[in-house]
Amino acid sequence: MTTAVDWDALRDAAVQAAAKAYAPYSGLQVGAAALTDSGEVVVGCNVENGSYGLTLCAECTMAGQLRLSGAQRFVAVACRSGTGQLLMPCGRCRQLLHELGGPDCLLDTPRGVLDMRQVLPDAFEL
């Protein structure tokens, strides 16, 4: 299915999702929002815990929402802080987006909208 990407709506959804974050350790609220191949929007927020290193990034909780929604893959993704700042996914989350979105998945970046090949060159593939 090809669905036009409403980037403004995705960015807004990411900021809204960030407001739900549980981030008492870093103090950084992160939200992620994605258009799926079903045409729906799924969101995620970071969920920290006292182990620090085992924090769940916003993209991780969004990945769970993708699977729970029944959709197959991410089509377009935006990540924002609670104050609306554009945030780039960390390396682990780029791998996650690549696997669950494929190389054609689009990401909102400071350099404009790019695909996963551009933000994760030579990705690990099984």
Look at the block and give the residue holding tokens 């054609």. 104
**CA dist list (Å): 38 to 26, 67, 90, 95:** 34, 12, 26, 21
Residue number, 26 or 85, with CB nearest to ligand THU: 26
Please name every residue paired with 56 in a beta bridge, in sequence order, or none if there are none. 47
Q: Residue 13 Cβ, how far from ligand THU at the closest point, in Å?
A: 15
35 vs 45, which CB is nearer to ligand THU?
45
Q: Per rule CB under 6 A, is residue 59 in the interface with ligand THU?
A: yes
Residue with tokens 């959804």, as numbered in its chain:
13
Per CB under 6 A, does 78 bind ligand THU?
A: no
Would you please indicate which residues are annotated as catalytic (active-site) residues? 59
Structure tokens at 51: 């182990």
Judged by the rule CB under 6 A, the positions of this chain that interact with ligand THU are 23, 26, 28, 30, 46, 48, 55, 57-59, 89-90, 93
